Structure 1
Amino acid sequence: MTFAILGSDPADGKLGIAIATYSLGVGATCPQIQAGTGVATSQASTNPAVGEQLLELLKSGRNPAYAFEQAIANDSYPEFRQIALLTADGQVLVHSGTHTKPFSGHITGENCIAVGNFLADVGVLEQMVQAFEDLPDSAPFTTRLIAALEAGKSAGGQREPESGESLTERSACLMVAAPGESFPIDIRVDFSEDAISALRQALAAYDPMHQYYLARAENPENLPLQYDFVKRLNPT
C-alpha cells in the first residue's frame, strides 16, 4: 500500500525519490539512495536489506541486472516484495511479486519511474509520471518529486482492493542525493493524517538550510550560528 516516484536530473546528476504510504515510518524501511550510483525502493511487504544490498552491489561495480537479480535471489520472500531501481545512468529495473496487492505495477517516464501497490488503479501511476514530466527542467527537482506524489494522491492514491476503501497516507519521505554532497536531503514524516502535505511543509522549512548544513559539515569555523542564520532567512 505504497506509491513512489524515482527520478533523476541529468543536468546535475541528482537522484531522488518521493514515497508515501499507509504504513508508518516509510523513510526508515523503503527508500535507499546513493549519489552517483542509484536510487531504489523495496515496498509492499518491505525488506530494507534488499535495497541496501542492491546499492552495495552496484557500488562495488556489479552491473545493474546482476545486482538486481542477486538482491532478489537472496531474499526469502520475493513474491511479497515490490522493488524498483533507477541507476545514475538511467537504467530501470522493477520486480512486483505475485503476492503484492492490486493494483500493483509501474510506469516508466522520462527520467523517472512511478511504482506502487494497493492502488486505486493504474491512473495513479500515470498521473504521477505526468506531473513529474509536466514541470519544466528548471523547476526544483524536489518540487517535481513532491508534485508527483500529490498527483498520485489526487488520482485516487491507495485503496483496499476488497472493500474499495480509500487509505490515507500516514507517512512519507523525500530523498535527494547529489554528486559531491556529503549527505543527501532526507526528509521524513513518520506519522501524520496527511503525510504528503506535511512532507511539503517540512521540505519548505528544510530546503533553505541544506547548503548551510553541508557547509557546516565541511568547515563550521566561519559559519554563523544556526539561530542567527535562520533569523537572516526570516527577518521580522
Structure 2
Amino acid sequence: MKKLVLAVFCLSIFSFQAQNIGHEKSAFAHTFSIVARDTVTGEMAVGVQSHWFSVGSIVSWGKSGVGVVATQSFVNPAYGPQGLELMENGMPADIALAKMVDEDEGRAFRQVAFLDVNGNVSAYTGDKCVQAAEDIQGSNFSVQANMMLNENVVPAMANAYAANSDLPLAERVVAVMLAAQEAGGDIRGKQSAALIVVGPEKTDKSWEDKKVDLRVDDHETPIMELGRLLKVHRAYEHMNKGDLAVEANDMEKALQEYGTAEKMFPENLEMKYWKAVALANSGRMEEARPIFKKVFAADENWKEMTKRLPASGLLNISEEELDTLTK
C-alpha cells in the first residue's frame, strides 16, 4: 500500500513539473528567431539559430491552418504543442500566449512568440532573459532574441524582413536570420539552425503538414548551410513535380520540371538522369543519349538502373535502343 501511495505521489509531482517547468530544469536555447506569415500565400514560418545543439528540435513548432510558435531562452517546450492547441481551438495568438505565460512559474526566464493563421502575433520576453534580449512585432511577424552580442540584432531582423518582401516566405526568413548574424548574433557564436513552413489550410494528412522542414543540428555556419538546404529543397520540389508528370504520362511537363531542377544543381547526377529519361520518353533519344553517357561514366549503377526501368513503365524505348544505350 505504501508503494502505491508513493507511486501516485511521484506521478503527481511529475505531472505538475510537466506543466510548470522551472528554468533550472529547462533546456537552454538562447537564440534569435522569427515567426512570420505570408499575406499572399497564407504560409506561416519559424526560423531559428542558436549556439546550441539541435535548436530546431525544441524551439520551432507549427501546424498548417493553425499557426506557429517559437519558444526559447530557458525553453518550456509545452508552449509549442499546447500553444498550437489553444490557437486551433479558436484562441487568438495574443490571448493564447498570455494564458500560457500567466500559468508558467518560470515565465521570467522565457522568451516566446505566437502567430496564428489570421496573422495575429504576440511575443513575450521575461525580465530574467539574458541581455541583449528584445522582441519586435510588425504586421504578420515577430522577431525576438536573447543573449545577443549587442542591441542591434533584433532591429536588424525587423529591417531585413521589411526589405525582403519580394522573396518567398522561406527565403525571406533565411534573409532575416542572416541579417541577425551579420549584426552580431548570439554572443557565444553559432551552432545550429532550423526552418519550418506550414500551410494556410488544415490537413488531416500529417505528411502534408509542413511545406518546408529543414534542420542543421551542428555546423560551423548553420544559416549558410540552411540556405543551401533550402535551395536543394526547391530543386527537389521540381523533381517531385517531374515524377508526378511521369505518372500522368506528361513527358513534356516532366522534362520541364527535371530541366529546371538540373539548372539549379547542374552537377547532380540524379537530376541529369531523370531529365535524360524524360527526353527518351519524348522520342528525343539523340538529346538523351549523351546525358545518359555522362551519368553512366560517373556511376555505373545508373546503367543497371536504366535496364530495370522499362519493366516499371518508367522508360518507354525499344529493346534495341535499350541495348545500345546500356551496352
With the length of structure 1 as denominator, give the TM-score of the two structures: 0.84
For 2:98 and 2:240, the matched residues in 1 are separated by: 37
Q: Does structure 2 conserve the Cα–Cα contact (< 8 Å) formed by 1:109 and 1:133? A: no
Q: Is the 8 A contact 1:30 1:42 kept in 2?
A: yes
Which shows bigger deviation, 59-68 or 26-35? 59-68
Residue in structure 2 matched with residue 156 of structure 1 by the alignment: 184
Greater mean alpha carbon deviation, residues 45-54 or residues 103-112: 103-112
2-side partners of 1:73 and 1:215: how far apart?
50
Distance 2:34 2:42 in 1: 17
Q: Which of 153, 169, 174 is the aligned partner of 2:190? A: 169
Q: Take 2:111 and 2:144, find their aligned partners in 1: how far apart are those partners?
A: 8
CA drift at 1:31? 0.8
- 21-30 vs 95-104, greater mean Cα deviation: 95-104
Query: Which is further off, 195-204 or 90-99?
Result: 90-99
Counterpart Cα distance in 2 of 1:93 and 1:130? 18
Q: Which whole-Å CA distance do the structure 2 matches of 1:233 and 1:22 have between them? A: 41
CA spacing shift, 1:23–1:174, aligned 2, 3 Å: same
More helix by share: 2
Distance 2:125 2:170 in 1: 26
1:199 matched to which residue of 2?
A: 226
1:141 paired residue among 169, 189, 197: 169
Mapping 1:85-104, distance limit 5 Å: 85-104=114-133
In the alignment, does 2:214 pair up with 1:187? yes
- Kept in 1: contact 2:34–2:141 (CA 8 A): yes
Partner of 1:79: 108
Query: What runs of 5+ residues in structure 1 fail to find an aligned partner?
Result: 160-166
Q: Does 1:208 align with 2:235?
A: yes
In 1, Cα distance between equivalents of 2:183 and 2:269: 42
1:100-111 maps to which residues of 2 (within 5 A)?
100-111=129-140
Q: Which has the higher strand share?
A: 1
**Distance in 1 (alpha carbons) for counterparts of 2:54 and 2:128:** 22
Equivalent position to 1:121, from 150, 153, 158: 150
Q: In the alignment, which residue of structure 1 is the partner of 2:285?
A: none
**Greater C-alpha radius of gyration:** 2
Using the alignment, how far apart are the partners of 1:5 and 1:84 within structure 2? 8
Letter aligned with residue 215 of structure 2 = R
- 8 A contact 1:33–1:175 mirrored in 2: yes
Whether the aligned pair in 2 keeps the contact of 1:6 and 1:112 (CA below 8 Å) is: yes
The alpha carbon displacement at 1:79 in A equals 1.7
The total of aligned residue pairs comes to 226
The structural deviation recorded for 1:15 is 0.5
For the 8 Å contact 2:66–2:116, the answer to whether it is kept is yes
